[in-house]
Amino acid sequence: MKIGWLAAALILSSSGLARAAPALAELTTPQSDYVEHCSGCHGMQGNSAPAEIPVLRDRVGYFMCTREGRDYLIRLPNVAYSAIGDNQELADMMNFVVFGLGGASAPKSAKPFTAVEVAKLRSRALATQSLIAARAEIVDKMVGSCAVPVSMKFFYDGQNNGQPAR
């Protein structure tokens, strides 16, 4: 039976069929970390809708417009307590999330996260309060002080089913 599989592999490889699939781009470490640690809930492309989980695609960068919003992203329990132990590696992943998945939502003046900043914020994880309430408070401040759309009060565009945001 092993010879049969070997013969099939040789036939496929010599016929070009084995090479028909396009090569996939290799993921960077931050992208790979995102896939492993975040995409299960937030989606491979940062789009979790219609789940009750915040969409990251073209939205997460808005959090960088205030100090509280910026800190919130690192203080989230799944970030602060991440299995990624190296602070620079976690900073790199979060920079991919904010500037890669977040696209143009990040303010032009936003600076990338640093390892020192991540280390400091991880020690203050949002572990004892409602994340929904904390997010709502931060987003209310962002909407009032930055060029942030009111739809950020919801986890994804259209979540309010046409009802106005308050």
Q: Is 88 exposed, middle or buried (0-12, 13-18, 19+ CB in 10 A)?
A: middle
Instruction: Note the pLDDT of residue 147.
Output: 86
For 59-91, write each residue's pLDDT tens digit.
999 999 999 999 999 999 999 999 999 999 999
Write down the pTM of the prediction.
Answer: 0.79
- The string of pLDDT tens digits covering residues 32-60 is 999 999 988 898 888 877 778 888 999 99
Higher pLDDT among residues 106 and 4, named by residue: 106
Residue 5: is its pLDDT beyond 90?
Answer: no
